[in-house]
Structure 1
Amino acid sequence: MDSEVPRLDGLAELTPTFSVFVLRCHPDANPKAAFRSLVNFLRTTLESRGRAQSVRCLGEVVLAESDQIEGIGSLLELGIDGLYASARERRTMPSWSVEHRQVFDIANQLTVAVRCGAFVVIHTPVSDEALRKWSQKFNKLYRYLPSAILRGALQGDGKTVWLRGVHRRRVTKADSKTLGGLRIQEVLDDEDGSFALSAAAIDYVPLDGSAIVRGRLTVSPAKSHLYWKFRVDLPTFLAAATETVDLFEKSLAVEPPEEQFWQLAVPETDLANVYGAYDVTIAEPDELPDAADSDGELTERAELLRNSFLEVRGHSKSPAFTAVVSREGAEVGSLSIKPVARGDGFDLDVRFAGTPSNDAMARQIRDAIGNGELLRIYYESGHTFDEHQINLQNQTAPPFVNLDFVDFGAHQVNQEKPSVRGDQAIHDAIGLINDHSLFAWVKATYATGWLVCDDGAGEVADFLHLVDGTLTAIHVKGAQSTSSTRNVAVTAYQEVVAQAVKNLRLLDNEALVERFTTPRIARPAAWLDGIRHTELSGFVTALRARTTLDKTQVVIVQPHLLRHVHDAARKAAEQGKPTRDSRSLALLDGLLRSARRAVISHWDDLTVIGSE
């Protein structure tokens, strides 16, 4: 440490936020020497004034594993091989001020870098862009962690995801979006297959019950970055660092963990699959993170690129392309641009293609492109380069998840309702001793709470079931065949699904109260806890007692789909050996997923019942 730099004392009193980059030492590098290089980079970057009026070191310290932290203990006991801590005062002029006023914003910035074996955990105001450029320049020192590890190692309910589109830009679809909820894994569907994950906030539940790091974690896979929302004392920070390193080290030693957000775009690792660049876009101002652009450099570079024109000339068998660059209507030169692998991600290699006609401007634009943090590149292969990742739109159609199979026993799976004519006659016949229809199965199955039949012209559903405040709209359709080998048939579901979706708005509670206060027919079929009732005043009272906290569900009963036929079709699809049934099942999945999206846009969920 420079003798002129004051020593940073009182480390035990520091309370940093656990907002950290996690890097892994290159296999060919010496971890101890690599850490010295990292410390030199951090020190040099932090000392750089940039656009600040001044930068002053308040103190720093470099510790080896044999050193002690007063009030905490030795690094060796803590499982730490090296530590660097630095505090800087940075004075900048506010954007609203002018120089002669001598008004400044003062920021006191803390950096803590911890080495645990071949890993480093870094809390610093140094930007991801600067760290990435350094790791690229000295690419035999450190690597970012594989994004698959960050996406999957920290399991828990997704609370918020920040997504960026990898699809062709169009006015009918968002370029990016943010989703929040109780469990985002249940919200995403196949329509999100054209979006890639930028970051995710997860309620992390560690397998080790004594683990320190738990609860709300924000993970940015492309940046190898973690943010734990709590401000902690230094002992807790160091324990969290060693715990995080241990988790990632174990994850790297086995097969990559399962994707938590598997519906999203698929990360590409092989550039041989990427070809045909046809367009580029530049990051918009609101897409630039403030923390990474504290001095406004990224904003200025993006502005320069947005005010230039890049004509893309792609190659049919390569991810490389030529960009013919124009500024204010005049061509200034051409750039040869190609993605190159850097650890788990990709950077852009940008060079001149020939001699530029305006050397100074061409160099400015080349430098503004940098290694690709501001560019999004679209390929005919369906890939998109963005945030140093290449992703492919996920074309995998996921199965419909809410499919149940039941044994209908003696009930006739192809008979929807009693074999009588007229609305009143049908209502009167439901559940009688000679009724083996699916309506009778509904009556026998939903035997607690209120069950009301609404079958007939203008029905809300065939049945409404109400118990403990939860309302279920039940739509029934008979199978097209009673054969034990009947094939999957989308047509068996189209009518009943369309009816269920069309009637969603009719499930509004006030509308239901009004509807059943004066029933359509004289004696609607109704049961309370399995006992037949002749009037609906009790049902209406129960409807009025519901609140917005009560759930509303939709159930479709269609026994045409047999479990063993379904399972065989699913297995054939998974093994890549498509059959007639597997192709039909894929179509049925699509129909039911679409219906479920419609249901959950209004109410809680959709369940479809098939036959054992």
Structure 2
Amino acid sequence: MELESSLDPLGDQSYFFSSVRSTVKLSEKLASTVVGASPSAGRIWTGPSRTWDEFTTGLNLVLRRAADYMDDTSRSETPIPIVASPLTSLANVERAYDVAIIVPEQIHHGESDAAKDESRWLQQFGDTARFEVTAAAGGPNFEADVYWGDTKIGRLSYEFHQGPRGDVRAKITIVKEQGSKDVEGEVSKKQKAEILKICRDADNITVYFDTGHTFSRGHIYETRFRDARFEDWEWVPMWPDKTEYWQEKPLDGKRFAVENTGNESDKSLFGLIARHWPNLKSRGQQTGWLVCDDGAGESADFIHIDDKVKPSLLTLIHAKGSGSGKDGRDISVSDYEVVVGQAVKNLRHVDRGLLLAKLKANGSGVLKDAVWHNGKRLKNRDSFLAMLAKLGSNLETKVVVLQPRVRETVLENVREKMNKDDKTSAAVRRVRQLDALLLAARANCFSLGAKFAVIADADRKRGSTPPAGRKRR
């Protein structure tokens, strides 16, 4: 079977080619041998050889074939056209508009539990990190203010240079701002220094450009967009009860105030879920079983089970606050990248046995009473776990991402442009990048028999207008 034939044009379009391994016949005199190559690392390897002469002969043939191919001006620069391809030039890469960061989980690997507790703030930063990007004209360079929620951490400069082997190198430096003082507050100087260190590591960031390009792990990629759209949106208005859709969870300073989750004063997305899931649109009372599992090593932010339908429905819910609280906010891809990545990473927990073991293992911590049944908060997870153990394996499964950054009216306007064959405007390019991300996630869910949906902001109600004077950021 050819590799290209086995790839999914929708599910695999956001992946990129990094290495290849194949069995080839190098000459009529030699048997077929295994040859591998990693172009970005400048490395090749071959199968085992019985003698030194056999090794050198085979290696010479491999290098000659590679040289012949490199000299062939008619060769394709995109041997696998389905996947994203790295660019060998920074030409036409302009107008950075979004940065996504994933705080590496291994950063405190091996530390004591006490040290891990002290560094829990890193995960809290990752939950609410955002970048305000100012792009330089006529190129890929930009500066970005780094925020932890509403607290500005610092300003960074991102400059891109072409490396000698066609790779792209990012020079990331701290911008010293005149008149700024590093004052101790909710965020300590030590925490700021560690955050900026993480943000200066190019392996931790993804940068999106309005020209349709993406910077990731030392390369600029161009995704080969398909004429397919992600359509599994579910629209929920944020304005009827003044949900603070930019706030993921209730906070006490920077700490997750789990004890306040679902209280009437909790206007965060977690509060919306705890009070109303799965009846978000109507703001009806929460029904079924609901447990919060937010934190490092989570299975999902929330797990919901409706055991009154046949078969029962298990839903993994991943929530993320919008990176902007403005009514007129644009579409952002980075707001979805982290939360969608978390959803895919934790997809294994649609397996009832794995989920049960996971929830038992961390059921005695600060989240032990973050459990609800038909609107009532329980003292612990015991009854939830007992119910889950008895369900059996005949379950419908679903993964839901709640991220209100996209507004229904904005997406409709962009879709109208796409219907008119507009493929070049910045808004269309952003939506196509977002489509690629969400279609890939949906394909992952489908592979395990789970449905996938994204809940975003129904920013208008026909015949009504949102109330004025909402808090903006």
**Class of the TM-score when normalised by the shorter of the 2 chains:** 0.3 to 0.5
> Of Structure 1 and Structure 2, which has the larger fraction of its residues in strand?
1
Q: Find the structure with the greater CA-based Rg.
A: 1
TM-score normalised per structure 1:
0.36
